[in-house]
Structure 1
Amino acid sequence: MNGAPLGKVSVEHIATDLPPDAAQARELDYGWQPGNRIELLENGEEYFPKVFEALRQARQEILLETFILFEDKVGVELQDILIEAAQRGVKVLVSLDGFGCGELSPGFLGQLAAAGVTVQMFDPASKTLGIRTNWFRRLHRKIVVVDATVAFIGGINFSADHLEDFGPEAKQDYAVQIIGPAVADLHHFALAQSGRQARTRRGWRRRGHRLGLWATAEGDGLVRLIYRDNLQHRSDIEDAYLQALSKAQQRIVIANAYFFPGYRLLREIRNAARRGVHVQLILQGQPDVMMAKLAARMLYDYLLKDGVVIHEYCQRPLHGKVALVDDEWSTVGSSNLDPLSLALNLEANVLIRDRKFNQQLFQRLETLSRNHCKTMPENRTPRGWLWRVTVGFLVFHVLRHFPAWIGGLPAHKPRLKPFVQPAKSEEP
């Protein structure tokens, strides 16, 4: 498929949200990679300086995909950095979601394209009667790979609402920086999803080692990239959670912004608490989407009666998507535990086996739960109990089947499309 030129760079192929065939899909099954250094980054205060410095140091290539990019102070700084990188000869490929980035102006995107940045939009759509129609199957991943030597992945978008000075609506969120062999997988995945990957993963890795692209961190961390798409990898992230929860022996901590998982996940969480595992959930208490909080509360009775401890974070909106099990397993990424993330959106997480990282994440979450959360009582006010249970049952089962209903509706297949700068109108 041929695309229109974007500044100095022409798009030769634009990928769909899925690998083009089963053989390539198998190439995108990533295994555990040892020897990585993983750094936890909390909120924009830690994340943006690390990412921006890596981008400024780029010499060959920048791959960036995000759900949200706003034209605020963070977005403008990112734009400046990407333009400067492209002008010094770095290949810059930016993939944006058509819903999350639907308000970006043609001028903002045009400046990137004019500088030589390749800009791609996933499922762009104009508004109908002032309403966006591209609600589902979003590109929800947040991945940055620089020179195939350092990678970032997590839940943080490029917007000022991830900074504390944004005010009461500033988001609480997490990401990681990775240096080491796992960067090769993130690099391969980002290229493959953008339509730029023609080589097999094995061949690409051999070439990368020959050129000295992959960083050798010699750290202690095992890292595995997992993701969900709408064909071969529909349940990979959910399955990874299920496997880890079923093996938990001591503790489980899940901090998730939009918590409304299916019955299998709920059952594993409940069963872990029943067998004596200390299970803590950190959920939204000050929501940015009220429906998310109401939906999560429909599940509280089911979980609390079996010993699950539920904290609601009340300082500001929780946007994190992290979890840990026992003293070694952790996950950080873009996937919420709700129907959109688990059954519709394009998501990516990393699984991490690293005791030091696990302990650091646990300490951050423990500080959060102790100092800024309220704990839900096990025996809540009985008034309206029957009504709450009935409504909860109905809402749960409606939302549980919601992705299947949406997936069955006739719809176009979302694709990445090149940004084409509008032609200037000629003066009369």
Structure 2
Amino acid sequence: MSSPSEVLDEGRNCWRIARADRLGLIIDAEAYFKAVKEAILEARHTVYLIGWDFDTRIKFEPEGSTLDGPNKLGTFLRWIDKSRPDLQVYVLKWDLGAIQSLGRGTTPLAILDWMTSNRIHFKLDGAHPKAAAHHQKIVVIDDILAFCGGIDMTADRWDTREHKDNDPRRRRPSGRRYGPWHDASTIVTGDVAKALGDLARERWLWASGEKLEPPPDRPSIWPASLEPTLSDVDVAIARTIPEFEDRKAVREIEAFYLNAIASAKHTIYCESQYFAARCIAEAMAARLKEKSGPEIVIVNPESADGFLEAVTMDTARYRLLKLVREADIHDRFRIYTPVTREGEPIYVHAKITVVDDRLLRVGSSNFNNRSMGFDTECDLIVEAQAGRKGVQGIRDTITAIRDDLLTEHLGRKPAEVGALVREHGSLIAAIESLRGKGRTLVPYEPDEPAGIEEALAENDLFDPEAPPSWSKRLLGIFR
């Protein structure tokens, strides 16, 4: 594999490495929803919206609109269609099937309204193996600006970084409240945005058979509500694509994870919706057995969202944590759940990995088997490579991002985390010294699973690593 200072390898653990004039890390959907609307307002030629799900009833700004145009996604797109006669909008949503769609409120009906225009194009993407998911969350504006990460433009996602208890703004379109939700995405300009435009056009071709042409060049844009995190930096795009018909499998994300874990010198910090991928757990276990291996900190939700996911993913997490903890002979592993000031668990949907001060990954992939080879995923990665211009600034920024995330989870001041890491020489020791009552990180202790839960976790029916075994099992069930 690559040397410890150079993990990224185009064509093996990433698809392309392209320059970003500016890159911003977006934490939580309050900032994301507003920035996406700002960007669409600046679009002149094409907008690509690619997602696992869209709900046209969601509000960009639940506390009241400060931007032009309607505040709800569906009515805003209809307004954009009328006010931007040269703009083409392409909406690509995972085709989860007609039966499942019946449970998603008025979304399908609202989408039909868009089809009265010849400038708003909507497709359900079923170009995937049976029961696989198109899990990418990508927005591209005129090939000059793009968003890529883990935030879906659907219900139950909007929240602020404060994750306030009983926040009245956290409401579904039905009016029902939902709990605190932690998420993340990125925004990029430059060549990497154009590369994401290429990816979007490829996805549209798979779904529709229609080949789209790139938009003409135009000056760069940037949402006024966001500050760039990095400038003039190389960004890698890593993908998971399952084998389907004549399309070959792509497992760049899995390769990156394994290379990144193997390369870590001091710390691996991860936020993920799940901890259910055996390959990840085994790679971490191998490093924990080493005398001078890295500390590993994982931030997970208390439980997966939904009954079936909880049974499957939480049971898999129980089994894999047993494997990892048995390997942790030097006491360098921790897994935490964030809670609000009043102790309510915050759901972790963010997908972030920080390795030392050298690697930052943000995307759609989770630590589960599906993200390694069965679902369609897309991550962005920044590496601080030794000898490159500005490398120390990149390293400082990657460290600051990790500390800023921990500041949010621990309810502390920004300077405290970094100062204590330096004082203790240990990320885990710093976290432990800062944990307390109220807003904090709570050590996760799994309940022992029941027999049926063990049985589900033992097979690959709900979290398969690749299409073939899944397809055979699925056909057997519905035959």
| TM-score for both structures, normalised by structure 2 | 0.67
State the AA in 1 paired with 2:27.
E
* Whole-Å separation in 1 of the counterparts to 2:266 and 2:153: 36
Cross-structure match for 1:23: none
Q: How does 1:209-358 map to 2 (within 5 A)?
A: 211-212=217-218, 219-231=231-243, 232-262=248-278, 264-275=279-290, 276-289=293-306, 290-291=310-311, 292-305=313-326, 306=328, 307-314=332-339, 315-353=345-383, 354-358=394-398
1:398 aligns with 2:459: yes
Q: How does 1:25-424 map to 2 (within 5 A)?
A: 30-74=15-59, 77-87=72-82, 88=84, 89-99=86-96, 102=101, 103=104, 104-115=106-117, 116-123=119-126, 136-164=131-159, 165-166=169-170, 167-195=177-205, 196-197=210-211, 211-212=217-218, 219-231=231-243, 232-262=248-278, 264-275=279-290, 276-289=293-306, 290-291=310-311, 292-305=313-326, 306=328, 307-314=332-339, 315-353=345-383, 354-367=394-407, 368=409, 370=435, 371-376=439-444, 397-399=458-460, 403=466, 404-408=468-472
Note the C-alpha offset of 1:402: 6.6
Structure ranking higher on relative contact order (CA contacts 8 Å, 6+ apart): 1
Structure 1 residues 96, 230: CA separation in 2 closer, same or farther (over 3 Å shift)?
A: same
Note the C-alpha offset of 1:373: 2.0
* Whole-Å separation in 2 of the counterparts to 1:278 and 1:408: 40
State the AA in 1 paired with 2:395.
R
Please tell me whether the aligned partners of residues 147 and 213 of structure 1 are also in contact (alpha carbons under 8 angstroms). no
Note the C-alpha offset of 1:84: 2.7
Note the C-alpha offset of 1:340: 2.4
Please tell me whether the aligned partners of residues 59 and 72 of structure 2 are also in contact (alpha carbons under 8 angstroms). yes
Report which stretch shifted further, 297-306 or 173-182.
297-306
* Whole-Å separation in 1 of the counterparts to 2:107 and 2:58: 15
- SS of the residue aligned with 1:330? strand
Note the C-alpha offset of 1:106: 4.7
* Whole-Å separation in 2 of the counterparts to 1:308 and 1:149: 41
**Superposed CA offset, 1:343-386 (max 9, x none):** 32111111122435422430233222654321247xx99xx8xx
* Whole-Å separation in 2 of the counterparts to 1:342 and 1:320: 17
* Whole-Å separation in 2 of the counterparts to 1:348 and 1:260: 19
Structure 1 residues 233, 225: CA separation in 2 closer, same or farther (over 3 Å shift)?
A: farther
Note the C-alpha offset of 1:171: 2.0
Please tell me whether the aligned partners of residues 256 and 337 of structure 1 are also in contact (alpha carbons under 8 angstroms). yes
* Whole-Å separation in 2 of the counterparts to 1:221 and 1:339: 30
Note the C-alpha offset of 1:406: 0.9
Report which stretch shifted further, 365-374 or 46-55.
365-374
Note the C-alpha offset of 1:83: 2.1
Please tell me whether the aligned partners of residues 58 and 85 of structure 1 are also in contact (alpha carbons under 8 angstroms). no
- SS of the residue aligned with 2:284? helix
Please tell me whether the aligned partners of residues 138 and 346 of structure 1 are also in contact (alpha carbons under 8 angstroms). yes
Aligned length: 360
* Whole-Å separation in 2 of the counterparts to 1:319 and 1:356: 25
* Whole-Å separation in 1 of the counterparts to 2:186 and 2:474: 38
| TM-score for both structures, normalised by structure 1 | 0.74
Structure 1 residues 117, 330: CA separation in 2 closer, same or farther (over 3 Å shift)?
A: same
* Whole-Å separation in 2 of the counterparts to 1:278 and 1:86: 51
Please tell me whether the aligned partners of residues 56 and 81 of structure 1 are also in contact (alpha carbons under 8 angstroms). no
- SS of the residue aligned with 1:299? helix
* Whole-Å separation in 2 of the counterparts to 1:244 and 1:391: 35
* Whole-Å separation in 2 of the counterparts to 1:258 and 1:338: 6
Percent identity over paired residues: 19
**Superposed CA offset, 1:224-275 (max 9, x none):** 111111233432111111111111101101111022002x321211222333
- SS of the residue aligned with 2:250? coil
Over the residues paired in the alignment, what is the CA RMSD in angstroms? 3.3
Please tell me whether the aligned partners of residues 163 and 171 of structure 1 are also in contact (alpha carbons under 8 angstroms). yes
Note the C-alpha offset of 1:327: 0.4
Note the C-alpha offset of 1:123: 2.7
* Whole-Å separation in 2 of the counterparts to 1:260 and 1:52: 34
Report which stretch shifted further, 164-173 or 147-156.
164-173
* Whole-Å separation in 2 of the counterparts to 1:67 and 1:142: 7
**Superposed CA offset, 1:105-141 (max 9, x none):** 55311221113300001239xxxxxxxxx97211111
* Whole-Å separation in 1 of the counterparts to 2:152 and 2:59: 10
Structure 1 residues 372, 159: CA separation in 2 closer, same or farther (over 3 Å shift)?
A: farther
* Whole-Å separation in 1 of the counterparts to 2:396 and 2:142: 27
